[in-house]
Chains A and B, each alone.
Chain A
Amino acid sequence: MIHKHDEVIVGAGGAGLMAALNLSTHGRVGVISKLYPTRSHTGTAQGGIGAALGNHEEDHWEWHVFDTVKGSDYLADQDAVEILCREAIETVYELEHWGLPFSRTEEGRIAQRPFGGHTKEFGKGPVRRSCYAADRTGHMILQTLYQQGIKNQVHFFNEYHLLDVLITDGRCAGVVALCLATGEIHTFHAKAVLDATGGCGRMFRVTSNAHSLTGDGMAVALRAGVPLEDMEFFQFHPTGIYKMGILLSEAARGEGAILRNRAGERFMERYAPTLLDLAPRAMYREMREGRGIDGKNYLHLDLTHLGAEVLDKKLPDITEFVRTHLGIEPKKEMIPIQPTAHYAMGGIPTDTDGCVISDEKNTPVAGYYAAGECACVSVHGANRLGTNSLVDILVFGRRGARHAAKFVKENDWAPLPAKPDERAREQVSRVMAASGKERAASIRDALQDEMMEKASVFREAKSLVAMRETLGELRERYRQVKIDDRGTKYNTELLEVIELGNLLDLAEVLVESALVRQESRGAHSREDFPKRDDINWLKHTLAYRTPKGVEFRYKPVTITKFQPMERKY
């Protein structure tokens, strides 16, 4: 089946919905989503959205720029960060105008809380910048955007899984997707495609990411010849619930929660007293040196001193997670936590209008856009500042949509290839005909365990080379996959096998990119190259998939106001 739309958006989280709302008045938009939109992972974001509203104290978007650039370990493109921080403000007001129920100040304004890494006067002390709705800001954003989508009669294709993006000679003509309900393969012919498919955290064992976050958009782009930028930078969040990875927001620390080791010591003060993003490494060191709780691989997050009022009013969801999943009362007991794979800084490279680019000269792929976690603008550089992912999805979801709206006015549909769904059909038939012995789940388990062990918070050449070999073996096993469900309707086993293929492709890019980058910067921490190396590595990685393996080109970092300095907190 072939559908024809002006614009097709893939993904219905914050970025996709924001894009849809900015396009719904401009043409015929179709939104394809693997999930019902309200199931998207934006809904799990807790702490808040950063914007220099200054509702409690003086604040300026330029200060927000400094914090973002410093947080990025100077790898973010500063022109993009300026847009991010400036437009954050109008974006938050726009959300409020759409009815988002922010928590309020005494004066009735949007309430803001302090958040790790957000400072006033270029690093002089914490500032209340994170606009929040209790600890379910993401839920409110997702619901509000979906509600407005209903109001604006956005056309959703729910439970369609992206299989391919059609690019010929630098021009995008649409996408191919699997309708889960029927098993049919649909081609979506579009003047412009905007990819907003989110992250790929499911390649790691302990992750805050939903089961669905398998990097579908990134993997499909990669296989279509588009490079992926800065994939070696994967953020680990310090406070995930032990073993489960469920996130306990930095909002907890913003409200005064403390990390403690087995001796009860506030060990972060020995490392970086004010910024939690350095915590995963500090935590690994503590655990490695035997100061984990009971000598094991976890530490404690202490909320006991915050009082019932703060926990009930400001952190109700995370205290409930702890009660539900651990059976612990956070008002009285400390919470076992460990670093959890949280956010991909890298992704499909775009310019500041969301246009996907194909090389270091910023050559656009006409009609192809990306926004949100699947994209890399880059506003996060080597390490994302807390609250900025929500800013990113909204600001660049909107900018991509606005550029796309202009593009579809000025351009016709690019012709579809002769057999647009051929690659997708082959991929699906291959899985459906699979007669091997390997369970996808055991391959995925091995991938997640090994990535956690060899390519997570700490890396070195030895571990990465070993991971390269492991991935070779896993790919071989993947060719021997077996499948029980041969049906067409809601074949979620087929879906999981395809998703696993995406994770394997992306893990390869991550590992190869990490191996080449011989320095430590932001979330990429090489034990054999512990220092940041601006002379050789102040540049973005562009990784291409070729028949000879992953190949690299590099793109300069845009620096406007802030020259790289040593990052101290």
Chain B
Amino acid sequence: MKVTLKIKRFNPEKDAAAWWGEYPIEAEPTDRLLDALNHVKWYIDGSLTYRRSCAHGICGSDAMLINGANALACKVLLKNLGSRITIEPMRGFKVIKDLLVDMEAFFEKYRKVKPYFVAHSPEPEKERLQSIEDRERFEDTTKCILCGACTTSCPSFWANEDYVGPAAIVNAHRFIFDSRDESREERPSILGTADGVWRCRTIFNCVEACPRGINITRAIGEVKKALLYRKF
């Protein structure tokens, strides 16, 4: 099939402003959008810049705005995108070059919620025990690959860049609801502030954007409820 990729281009060393590049190519309907981008980079314009690595939806490198919706380029097939595909960098992050954005602010927010396991009690000789039900409690939020698709699809984040954003909350949820985790005070004090969970207006864009199918709005709701009822 013939498709045209309409890509928002910006080279900081050449361009004063972003411009649209159009690339008509021949491709298979079952090709992933990443395959098409690679074709452009490899055979038409080597300067086209984006991140990619695993090419099957696990590493989280290639989130971008595809026909107006955030997705991983390696997880959408051309046959589902029409013959004219618009590709832009994720919204709300600083664009560095073409589709490659500055992720530092994103990771800064992630680090802010203390996204790591904390336990003060002495380590047992073997594993800590956890029931199947307790393990299931936070299963959904362990799936996050930190691609940024949720946070950059969130109108609350666009309106206020200080909002920690859905991805950080998802990663806090993963520990708050882990029966083994013994941090009780720190995460609530971060997430309970004005730039924490209360900025979420349950718009559900994050849920639609998440390439891992995480029910993010529900996770945020659970954190809100835990904060209200002090269930940590």
Contact = CB atoms under 8 A, between A and B. Distances in A.
> Mostly helix, strand, loop or mixed at chain B's interface?
loop
A441 B42 contact: yes
B146 A38 contact: yes
Given A40-B59, A211-B52, A488 B43 contact: no
A211 B100 contact: no
A493 B46 contact: yes
Contacts of A484: 45-47
Nearest to A41: B54
| Chain A CB within 10 A, most for which of B43, B60, B130, B213 | B130
Interface string B117-131: 111000101111111
B46 to A, nearest CB: 4
A110 B59 contact: no
A98 B142 CA distance: 14
B93 to A, nearest CB: 13
A321 interface: yes
A489 B12 contact: yes
B27 interface: no
Interface in B109-165: 111, 114-119, 123, 125-132, 135, 138-139, 142-146
Nearest to B142: A101
B144 to A, nearest CB: 8
Contact of B75 (A110, A210, A324, A492): A324
Interface in A486-520: 487-490, 492-493
B47 A493 contact: yes
A283 interface: no
Interface string B32-50: 1000000001110111011
B42 A439 contact: yes
Interface stretch (A116-124, A147-155, A164-172, A408-416): A147-155
B142 to A, nearest CB: 5
A227 B48 CA distance: 36
B193 interface: no
B129 A151 contact: no
Contact of A110 (B52, B55, B127): B127
Given A39-B53, A101-B142, A144 B117 contact: yes
Contact of B13 (A39, A439, A488): A488
Contacts of B46: 439-440, 483-485, 493
Contact of A104 (B111, B132, B181): B132
A520 to B, nearest CB: 32
Given A99-B116, A101-B138, A211-B53, A487 B59 contact: no
B205 interface: no
A35 B53 contact: yes
Contacts of B84: none
Size band of the interface chain B makes with A: 35 or more
Contacts of A35: 53, 59, 61
Contacts of B146: 36, 38
Nearest to B117: A99
Nearest to A139: B58
A487 B55 contact: no
A101 B53 contact: no
Nearest to A46: B58
Nearest to B123: A97
Given A99-B117, A147-B116, A107 B129 contact: yes
Nearest to A44: B58
Interface in A240-265: 244, 246
A1 B66 CA distance: 38
A107 B30 CA distance: 44
Contacts of B11: 487
Contacts of A239: none
Contact of B119 (A97, A107, A108, A150): A97
Interface residues on A, range: 35 or more
B178 interface: yes
B56 interface: yes
B60 A39 contact: yes
B57 interface: yes
A133 B14 CA distance: 47
A107 B135 CA distance: 12
Interface string A87-120: 0000011001111011111111110000000000
B96 interface: yes
Given A39-B59, A324-B75, A487-B14, A147 B41 contact: no
B142 A212 contact: no
Given A43-B54, A43-B59, A492 B49 contact: yes
A181 interface: yes
A342 interface: no
Nearest to B181: A99
A140 interface: yes
A325 interface: yes
A93 B126 contact: yes
3 pairs of A and B residues whose beta carbons are closest in the complex? A99-B117, A441-B42, A484-B46
13 contacts: A93-B127, A97-B128, A103-B135, A104-B135, A107-B129, A143-B144, A150-B111, A151-B114, A210-B55, A244-B56, A325-B56, A326-B30, A441-B41
Interface of A: 35-36, 38-41, 43-44, 53, 92-93, 96-99, 101-110, 133-134, 136, 139-140, 143-144, 147-148, 150-151, 181, 210-212, 244, 246, 317, 320-321, 324-327, 439-442, 483-485, 487-490, 492-493
Given A96-B127, A104-B130, 20 more contacts: A35-B59, A36-B107, A36-B146, A39-B54, A43-B59, A53-B126, A101-B135, A104-B131, A107-B129, A108-B130, A136-B143, A139-B145, A150-B111, A151-B116, A211-B55, A327-B30, A440-B46, A441-B41, A487-B14, A489-B97
